[in-house]
Chains A and B, each alone.
Chain A
Amino acid sequence: MTKRLFMKGNEALAMAAIEAGCRYYFGYPITPQSDIPEYMARELPRLGGEFVQAESEVASINMLLGASATGARAMTSSSSPGISLKQEGISYMAGAELPGVIVNICRSGPGLGGIDASQADYFQAVKGGGHGGYHIIVLAPSSVQEMYDLTMLAFDLSDLYRIPAMILGDSVVGQMKESFVPHPRPLRDLPPKEWVVRGREKGEQRVVKSLYLGDGELEAHNWKLHARYAELKEKEVRREEFMLDDAELIVTAFGSAARIARSAVMAARDKGLKVGLLRPITLFPFPEKAFRAATQRCRKVLAIELNAGQMVEDVRLSVARDAEVFFYGRPPGAGSLPTPEELLVQIEKYC
């Protein structure tokens, strides 16, 4: 599997899920992610898997919960309004310590909004979009190659930490075609799933649940979950640093915005401006330490997002105390996708 392919990001993501051993997919169609169920519908049956077009998003997230409870690798995908509908199920999965991969190829909102690229679901993804104070793992690909690589990683991290994992993309990374090289699933030691649901006749009964009613039980359960989030922050942060060493302005952006911003950073460099890029790849856990370290030396940060300002809040919480954080963003919609030329103008304001 070293041949370069030319495929849509959504298709590369679906291909990676299958390579990662996902054999169960549940979903409901919505633009701009429908290439994923289309691919799964075509490929899963001949691999002995199951593709289910559910009657709703609520049904499909609960099917994912059920499949995960049996220990199977499974996935669902949707786009923003559909992901809103899935939040209850995601909260139940988080509470029941169930792995599972959820893909959000975001569209613009609020409400029905539009189908254009958007990063306005950042808060929902990283702050626990459902009730109960949980987190999920959130990965933000910025190329078709990363749609492939991070999907595979999402399954492993999700199994390893027993936390649902989300791929957060949009129509830029989902609908764009690029060259990428697929690769086999990397070897990784994963703990045996000794928690999968089991009836009494096969030994000790095992129940998968998120209900804890005993005195102190739920608090202890929550502390266990939060210890795992702390462990994620310690071990699983991923980010890309580009031309940061001598930078006098740090540009930060994730996903598709980072892809556009990177070209703007290179154009700024061509003009002799000392600008670098710090791109969070894991949005949860957020690369807090990387921001703190980078802003020890360079005190100016410009956050760029396809929304009116969300990740910038986490950037502000992470930077060194006297660093200045600026923001440029556009609420998403038709004709609102910023170009590298426009971002260069913004960068020049702070140089």
Chain B
Amino acid sequence: MRYDVFIAGFGGQGVLMAGNLLGYAAIIEGKNVSFFPSYGVEKRGGAAMCTVVIADTDVGSPVVGNPSVALILNQTSFDKFAARVKTGGLCIVNSSLVDPTGLSRTDIEVIAIPMNEIAIELGDHRMVNMVAVGAYAARTGAVAIATFEEALRQTLPERNHRFIPANIRAIAAGAQRV
């Protein structure tokens, strides 16, 4: 079992947080994991991207050329990374900000979820990354949805633990959309 995923968006959307959360969840489940942030001059509004690999055995290269899944939160990331998804792979896009209709390839599946709207409905647009992670985990089974509560405790600093219930709701909402 090996899962690899690109998570991409702009700085401030919680792309690296989403990757970290998947990483902690995989560790809790006793799996191996690598979380590799594309280490550029990331800043709010700039490009943010990370690669997460989860495996029962060795994770191998933390650098991946063609992932089986891309989790895309904004249009520029879609334009850049949708082309790199492996044939037969999956692109989960935030349709609040991404118009996937321009994609010329038919060999990958595209799931469009209005992640911003869902997050706003649940009380805070900043939970867009949680909606994304929930959709990814539910669809692929890379980690169990139930693991995220403990993973959030380990990922977030103590002072933010009061937000865990809201984040769990956002993860569940994302999971329901696939």
Q: Given the complex, which residues of B lie within 8 Å of A262, measured CB to CB?
A: 60-61
Alpha-carbon gap, A32 to B39, bound state (A): 8
Residues of B within 8 A of A175 (CB): 36-37, 39
A338 to B36, CA, bound (A): 14
State how many angstroms separate the Cβ of A138 from the closest Cβ of chain B: 22
Report yes or no: B62 in contact with A178, Cβ–Cβ below 8 A.
yes
Nearest CB of A to B119, in Å: 25
| Residues in A neighbouring B1, C-beta threshold 8 A | none
A70: Cβ under 8 A from any B Cβ = no
Interface size on B, residues (CB 8 A): 22
Q: Are A176 and B33 in contact (CB under 8 A)?
A: no
A337 touches B63 (CB 8 A): yes
Known: A115-B40, A334-B40. A179 touches B63 (CB 8 A): no
User: Contact string, B137-150, partner A, CB cutoff 8 A, digits 1/0?
Assistant: 00000000000000
B13 at the A interface (CB under 8 A): no
CB < 8 Å neighbour of A266 from B34, B40, B60, B65: B60
- A284 CA to B104 CA, complexed, in Å: 50
> Which partner residue on chain A sits nearest B36 by CB separation?
A176
Q: B41 to A172, Cβ gap below 8 A? A: no
B95 at interface, CB cutoff 8 A: no
A338–B65 Cα distance when bound, in Å, is: 8
Partner of A259, one of B27, B35, B62: B62
User: B10 at the A/B interface (Cβ < 8 Å)?
Assistant: no
Contacts of B24 in A (CB 8 A): 6
Is B59 engaged at the interface, CB distance under 8 Å to the other chain? Answer: yes
Say whether A260 contacts B63, CB under 8 Å: yes
Q: Do A176 and B34 form a contact, CB below 8 Å, given A6-B24, A339-B63?
A: yes
Interfacial residues of chain B within 78-117, with CB under 8 A of chain A in the complex: none
State the Cβ distance, B36 to closest chain A Cβ, in Å. 5
Interface residues of B in 6-25 (CB under 8 A from A): 20, 23-24
Set of chain B residues within 8 Å of A32, measured between Cβ atoms:
39
Contacts of A172 in B (CB 8 A): 36, 62-63
- Tell me the minimal C-beta distance from B35 to chain A in angstroms: 4
CA distance A20 to B85 in the complex (A): 43
User: Which single member of A115, A177, A178, A341 contacts B65 (CB below 8 Å)?
Assistant: A341
Q: A171 near B: Cβ within 8 Å? A: yes
- Inter-chain contacts of A266 with B (CB < 8 A): 60
Q: In the bound complex, do residue A179 and residue B39 qualify as a contact, i.e. CB atoms below 8 Å apart?
A: no
With the chains together, A334 CA to B20 CA distance in Å? Answer: 23
Nearest CB of A to B113, in Å:
26
Given A340-B65, A341-B65, answer yes or no on A176-B60 (Cβ-Cβ < 8 Å): no
User: Within 8 Å CB of A337, what residues of B?
Assistant: 63
Min Cβ gap A206→B in Å is: 45
Give the chain A neighbours of B27 by CB distance below 8 A.
Answer: 4, 6, 179
Contact B60 A177 (CB under 8 A): no
CB pair B65–A339 under 8 Å, yes or no, is yes
Rounded to whole Å, the gap between the CB of A338 and the closest CB of chain B is: 8
**Does A263 lie at the interface of the complex (its beta carbon under 8 Å from any beta carbon of B)?**
yes
In the bound complex, residues from chain A placing their C-beta under 8 Å from that of B20 are: 177
A219 at interface, CB cutoff 8 A: no
* Distance to closest chain B CB from A80 (angstroms): 14
Contact of B64 among A115, A179, A340 (CB under 8 A): A340
How far does the alpha carbon of A260 sit from the alpha carbon of B27 in the complex, in Å?
A: 22
Q: Which of B32, B35, B41, B61 contacts A340 (CB 8 A)?
A: B61
Q: B interface vs A, CB < 8 Å?
A: 20, 23-24, 27, 32-37, 39-41, 59-66, 154
Give 5 nearest A-B pairs by CB, closest first. A339-B65, A263-B61, A341-B65, A263-B60, A177-B35
Chain A residues packing against B (C-beta within 8 Å): 4, 6, 32, 115-117, 171-172, 175-179, 256, 259-260, 262-264, 266, 334, 337-342
A-B contact pairs, 19 of them (CB 8 A): A6-B35, A32-B39, A115-B40, A116-B39, A117-B39, A171-B39, A172-B36, A172-B62, A175-B36, A175-B37, A175-B39, A176-B62, A177-B23, A177-B34, A178-B33, A334-B40, A337-B63, A339-B66, A342-B65
- List 17 other contacts, CB 8 Å, given A6-B154, A337-B63: A4-B27, A6-B23, A6-B24, A6-B33, A6-B35, A115-B40, A116-B39, A117-B39, A172-B36, A176-B62, A178-B33, A178-B35, A260-B61, A339-B64, A339-B65, A340-B60, A341-B66
